[in-house]
């Protein structure tokens, strides 16, 4: 898939080449959408993460953190001696979270790498549907892990 040149209208919604996202990621509409996505997906996401294992003091990566529900859960799970890096193109909702062990970073996994071997666990969920170069993004996320990854596309 090619990166868009200029604005494009998809189902009556204008998108921009800066993000390529169809949905606005700010304001009341986004807040409600993030709340509903959490309601629908968080239980299964947490179950899958717990099945794979996650411990106190781990360093975790959340790609496309959106509304912050999983980043918040990860912060609680790894404890004050653990660390969570939550990234997104729009970090507005993530910046509202107040956890001492949370770092929020504006980051584009499509084009920007992360430090190699830095994280014990990484998570990404619905943001992948927006990415034209999923394989490159997966590679950058995998490289950031300390050990072999368990991948489960959602």
| pLDDT single digits (tens) 35-82 | 888 788 889 999 999 998 899 999 999 998 989 999 999 999 999 999
105: pLDDT strictly greater than 50: yes
Which whole-number Å values give the CA distances from 23 to 33, 54, 60, 122, 153, in the listed order? Answer: 10, 32, 26, 24, 21
Pick among 3.40.50.150, 3.40.50.300, 3.40.1160.10, 2.40.128.130: CATH of 8-143:
3.40.50.150
Q: What is the pTM for the complete model shown?
A: 0.78
118 vs 10, more confident: 118
What's the pLDDT at 28? 67
């Amino acid at each position: 898939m090619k990166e868009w040149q200029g604005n494009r209208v998809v189902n009556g919604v204008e998108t921009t080449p800066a993000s390529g996202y169809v949905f606005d990621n700010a304001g009341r509409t986004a807040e409600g959408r993030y709340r509903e996505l959490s309601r629908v997906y968080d239980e299964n996401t947490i179950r899958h993460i717990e099945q794979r294992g996650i411990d106190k003091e781990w360093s975790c990566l959340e790609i496309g953190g959106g509304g912050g529900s999983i980043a918040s859960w990860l912060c609680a799970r790894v404890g004050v001696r653990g660390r969570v890096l939550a990234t997104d193109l729009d970090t507005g909702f993530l910046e509202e979270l107040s956890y001492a062990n949370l770092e929020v970073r504006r980051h584009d996994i499509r084009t920007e790498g992360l430090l190699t071997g830095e994280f014990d666990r990484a998570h990404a969920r619905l943001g992948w549907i927006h990415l034209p170069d999923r394989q490159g993004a997966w590679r950058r996320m995998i490289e950031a892990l300390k050990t072999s990854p368990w991948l489960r596309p959602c």
